[in-house]
Amino acid sequence: MDERKLVKECLKGMPQAQRQLYDCFAQTMLGICYRYTKSINDAEDVLQEGFVKVFTNLQQYRFEGDLGAWIRQVMVRTALNYLKKNKRYSSELSYDEINLHPVSEDNPLMQLQAKDLADLIRQLPTGYQAIFNLHAIEGFTHVEIGAMLGINEGTSRSQYARARALLINWLGNKNAEVKQHRYAGK
């Protein structure tokens, strides 16, 4: 079924069309939600809340661009709102400049699986994680991120640089561990 017909049937309240839309996008959107949370249970909560918003606001989709991209934006905004309102995350969702690691441009070479990198990103403090995902993964500009999070562009840039520096540092440590393991094994 084409997207236009699927959306129109969903707008008519047809359960089989709604189920088809959910089945088509749920797995991908769960991955997006998980990038912003610290657990799969929280990601599932965000996914559920996000799909409620998708179905509630589907009449706002104007068939301009990909339906999946529109749903992705709904999920990202839902995840950010979840972080802000959930006490577990809101206390970590800080954009202060205190106790921050210096920014480094080091670039350690290391083979890393996508899952390993995703796990490292998930270990970032929540504010860093959100900004890193918004910029590096979702492709939002720092101006857009600032507007979404209620911070200035410079803070977004700074937090992104610090998140990136932490990841580089962690990757460097992992690289050293791998080299040490290889050396010890010979």
> Mean pLDDT over residues 17-28, rounded?
96
The domain spans of the chain are 3-90, 114-185
Residue 171 is predicted with a pLDDT of 84
Q: Around Cβ 160, how many Cβ atoms within 10 Å?
A: 19
- Written as one letter, the residue type at 26 is A
Q: Name the one residue in this structure whose structure tokens are 């797995």.
A: 27
Angstrom distance (rounded) from CA 98 to CA 95: 9
Q: Give 81-123 pLDDT, tens digit per residue.
A: 998 888 777 655 554 443 333 333 343 334 456 777 888 898 9
CATH 1.10.10.10 applies to domain 114-185: yes
Options 1.10.1280.10, 1.10.1740.10, 1.10.645.10, 3.40.50.1370; CATH for 3-90 is 1.10.1740.10
- The structure tokens listed for 66 are 């990909």
CA dihedral 148, 118, 43, 134 (to 10 degrees): 10
**pLDDT tens by residue, 164-184:** 999 988 888 776 665 665 666
Give pLDDT, residue 118. Answer: 83
